[in-house]
Amino acid sequence: MKRLIIAIDGPAGAGKSTVAKLAAQQLGYTYIDTGAMYRAVAWQVLQAGLEPDNKTVAALAASLDLKLTYVNGKTAVAVNGRDITEAIRTPEVNRLVSRVAQVQALREIMLTLQRGLAAEGGVVMDGRDIGTHVLPNADIKIFLTASISERAQRRWQELTAKGYTLALAELENEIKTRDKADCEREFAPLAAAADAVFIDTTELSIQATVEKILELCKERQECV
């Protein structure tokens, strides 16, 4: 049976990584979290106390030593041999990442890495520009959405469970700002591919969303 390439895009908190991971597990595919790759560079900027201007980010991108591994359903991220899997999920990284992700030189390097990771098929890749730019020939393209209040609530729950104290309204504004930056950037902005299937997860459970994706895979595999 053909090992498909599945692209999942959408705004923050729509459920992309959760459902992508579960769908990959059920299909025996590899899950590739492209957001983690941009987060790793944002973390480097913060760690080194650098200004996130185009020149600095381009220089970091040119010497990027990034390793993404996917073992037993878990993605691990390392930069220069240091494991930063948890460190890239902080509110500070959330605030900086879309600025860093605007830099064209970085996006070009990521594009090459991401296409390389998907080359063999049998992958579920999630991000913002996967169906439109990174994998325009993907077998299945999904655009996941949910209302802004639902997405903010989900992120708030996640962060408070980790011990962060933050106001829901403030988080909602941060997510809106990040979505706007992602949608309006010049290179490979957040957008749905013309042939993407829209799934609104506002009132859809994780399992129901995964089932919809698996159903699309089944239909697709019956045609190839």
**Residue window 119-138: x/- pattern of binding to ligand CDP, with contact defined by CB under 6 A:** --------xxxx--------
DSSP 133-144: II-TT-SEEEEE
Minimum Å distance from CB 137 to ligand CDP? 16
Minimum Å distance from CB 223 to ligand CDP? 27
Subset of residues 139 to 198 that bind ligand CDP, contact rule: CB under 6 A: 154, 158, 178, 182
Phi, psi of 8 (to 5 degrees): -125, 120
With contacts defined by CB under 6 A, how many residues of the chain interact with ligand CDP?
28
* Sheet of strand 197-200: strand arrangement: 30-33, 123-127, 5-9, 140-145, 197-200
Half-sphere exposure of 207 (CA within 13 A, CB side): 0
Q: By CB under 6 A, is residue 101 in contact with ligand CDP?
A: yes
Q: Flag whether 122 is marked binding.
A: no
Total residues belonging to the chain? 224
Minimum Å distance from CB 93 to ligand CDP? 8
Interacting span for ligand CDP (CB under 6 A) from 55-63, 74-82, 93-101, 165-173 = 93-101
Give the residue with the Cβ less far from ligand CDP, 155 or 217.
Answer: 155
Task: Calculate helix-pair angle for 168-184, 91-100, nearest 10 degrees.
Answer: 20
Give Cβ neighbours of residue 60 (< 8 Å, ≥ 6 apart). 41, 44, 45, 50, 106
Q: From the list 44, 98, 132, 145, which residue makes contact with ligand CDP (rule: CB under 6 A)?
A: 98
Measured from the Cβ of residue 80, the count of other Cβ atoms closer than 10 Å reads 11
Question: Which residues carry a binding-site annotation for ATP?
Answer: 10-18
List of residues contacting ligand CDP (CB under 6 A): 10, 12-18, 34-35, 38-39, 97-98, 101, 127-130, 154, 158, 178, 182, 201, 204-206, 209
